[in-house]
């Protein structure tokens, strides 16, 4: 992928505002995909173009979290951040490409105002991974955009909860 600031900036400009409606109108999502907050969006609900975009979003996310010179990812990372991502257990396979994560089981409660996906003691997986951030928080912006695409093309949650915080000290050596 040879990801660097310029390529990430182009990815952000192209996909930062991409939402489910745009994906349907542009033909990335097809065949009336499941309502948000219900089932996964499987391959039958994505066009070839949609499948390619999903692969790209996962590749970008992987590169942002784990990439270095060995896989042609070139960023000057200046601080450590911690990404915490909460996903329903039955949808967590969508992120099985992520390595070096900590998985924690968690029961969640979600009261959907539209009563589509109320969860009482929902079985969730909480994924945590440390990553290096660059000046200007560009990596974090890329993570949010990638996760948004992955959510809208596969995970299909009404709200995919992800949080990034600065890590003051860590035993991870970069």
pLDDT in tens, 102-160: 555 564 555 555 655 555 557 788 889 999 999 999 999 999 999 999 999 999 998 89
H or E segment to which residue 45 belongs: none
Dihedral of the alpha carbons of 161, 91, 45, 31, in degrees to the nearest 10: -80
Check: CB of residue 9 under 8 Å from CB of residue 138: yes
Give per-residue pLDDT as tens, 72-106: 999 999 999 999 999 988 998 899 887 656 555 56
Tokens linked to 41: 């969006």
Among the listed residues 126, 125, 38, the one whose alpha carbon sits nearest the alpha carbon of residue 89 = 125
pLDDT at 104: 56
pLDDT at 1: 75
pLDDT at 97: 82
The mean-pLDDT minimum among 19-33, 43-57, 78-92, 98-112 falls in 98-112
Is residue 22 over pLDDT 60?
yes
Whether the model pTM is above 0.75:
yes
Confidence of residue 67 (pLDDT cuts 50, 70, 90): very high
Check: CB of residue 49 under 8 Å from CB of residue 149: no
Residue 163 backbone phi and psi in degrees, to 5:
-135, 135
Is residue 26 over pLDDT 70?
yes
pLDDT at 96: 86
Rounded to an integer, the average pLDDT of 64-75 is 94
Higher pLDDT: 17 or 105? It is 17
Is residue 31 over pLDDT 90?
yes
59 contacts: CB under 8 Å, gap ≥ 6? 1
Q: Which CATH architecture describes the domain 5-166?
A: 2-Layer Sandwich (3.30)
């Amino acid at each position: 992928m040879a990801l660097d600031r310029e390529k990430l900036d182009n990815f952000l400009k192209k996909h930062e505002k991409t939402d489910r409606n745009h994906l349907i109108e542009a033909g990335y999502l097809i065949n009336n995909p499941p309502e948000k907050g219900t089932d996964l969006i499987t391959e039958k609900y994505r066009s070839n173009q949609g499948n390619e975009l999903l692969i790209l979003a996962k590749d970008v996310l992987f590169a942002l979290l784990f990439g270095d010179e060995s896989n042609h990812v070139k960023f000057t990372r200046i601080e450590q951040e911690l990404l915490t991502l909460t996903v329903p257990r039955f949808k967590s396979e969508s992120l099985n490409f992520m390595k070096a994560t900590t998985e924690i089981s968690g029961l969640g409660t979600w009261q959907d105002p539209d009563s589509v996906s109320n969860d009482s003691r929902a079985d969730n997986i909480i994924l945590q991974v440390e990553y290096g951030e660059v000046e200007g928080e560009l990596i974090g912006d890329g993570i949010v955009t990638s996760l948004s695409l992955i959510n809208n093309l596969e995970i299909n949650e009404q709200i995919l909860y992800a949080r990034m915080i600065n890590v003051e000290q860590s035993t991870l050596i970069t």
